[in-house]
């Protein structure tokens, strides 16, 4: 906007790039940060800096953690022959909440024609290598129960068909079109209890 300080415009523009933050909200947040105590605003900046410096993608499962391999991959008490393949690190947190004891593989997204997300944009090559080289009893393709999640699971199932691991999908009890990050813990527990074999 004409006449407004360039640094304010930059902050609004940066906030506007965040998912779910439109220009109006970005403007509101920017002016909020200008109104609160300087210390409080700076704490947000420091928190962003700290988390980016401390947290990395695990080189084995690609979930976010302060250590590499992550605390799950390096935990000897986990069931190492049971793998849950998820789209996003947030979903790891959900399955941890309900007491899943296997290991994970985070795809860092899902295949999407609409968004132009292809095989090589995800951690699929690493997943295939991991399953081929490991001795997994079961690989559960726990992508979201929506069009793109189902499509991604189907592609993965074809690629893992000959791996020797039994391939499963979460139970159909998950409402179609819902997201794993948002369903209740009890629905998620039921979905993992009732996993169904693919093919
Ligand atoms: Zn890991």
Q: Per-residue pLDDT tens for 85-102?
A: 999 999 999 999 999 999
* Pick among 1.10.8.420, 3.50.50.60, 1.10.620.20, 2.60.40.1260: CATH of 6-54: 1.10.8.420
76 C-alpha to center of ligand 1: Å?
A: 12
Q: How far apart are CA 134 and CA 36, in angstroms?
A: 52
Q: Where are the domains of the chain?
A: 6-54, 58-197
- Number of residues that make up the chain: 199
Q: Per-residue pLDDT tens for 39-76?
A: 999 999 999 999 999 999 999 999 999 999 999 999 99
Range 178-187 contact pairs with CB under 8 angstroms and sequence separation of 24 or more: 178/144, 178/145, 178/146, 179/144, 179/146, 180/86, 180/87, 180/91, 180/94, 180/142, 180/144, 181/88, 181/90, 181/91, 181/94, 185/94, 185/97, 185/98
Q: How far apart are CA 148 and CA 146, in angstroms?
A: 6
Q: Contact at 8 Å (CB) between 72 and 84?
A: no
Q: Per-residue pLDDT tens for 124-163?
A: 999 999 999 989 999 999 999 999 999 999 999 999 999 9
The pLDDT value recorded for residue 171 is 86
Domains 6-54 and 58-197 fall in the same CATH topology: no
60 C-alpha to center of ligand 1: Å?
A: 5
150 C-alpha to center of ligand 1: Å?
A: 24
Q: Contact at 8 Å (CB) between 131 and 165?
A: yes
67 C-alpha to center of ligand 1: Å?
A: 9
62 C-alpha to center of ligand 1: Å?
A: 6
- Is domain 58-197 annotated with CATH 1.10.10.10? no
Predicted model pTM: 0.82
């Amino acid at each position: 906007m004409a006449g407004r300080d360039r640094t304010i415009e930059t902050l609004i523009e940066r906030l506007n790039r965040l998912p779910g933050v439109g220009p109006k909200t970005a403007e509101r947040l920017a002016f909020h940060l200008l109104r609160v105590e300087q210390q409080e605003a700076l704490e947000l900046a420091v928190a962003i800096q700290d988390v980016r410096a401390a947290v990395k993608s695990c080189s084995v499962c690609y979930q976010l953690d302060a250590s590499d391999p992550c605390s799950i991959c390096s935990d000897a008490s986990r069931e190492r022959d049971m793998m849950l393949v998820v789209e996003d690190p947030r979903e790891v947190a959900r399955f941890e909440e309900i007491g899943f004891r296997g290991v994970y593989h985070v795809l860092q997204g899902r295949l999407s024609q609409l968004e132009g997300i292809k095989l090589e944009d995800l951690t699929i090559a690493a997943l295939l290598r991991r399953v081929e080289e490991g001795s997994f009893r079961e690989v559960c393709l726990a992508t979201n129960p929506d069009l793109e999640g189902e499509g991604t699971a189907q592609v993965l199932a074809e690629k893992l068909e000959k791996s020797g691991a039994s391939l499963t999908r979460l139970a159909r009890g998950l409402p179609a079109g819902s997201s794993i990050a948002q369903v209740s813990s009890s629905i998620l527990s039921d979905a993992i209890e009732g996993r169904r074999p693919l093919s």
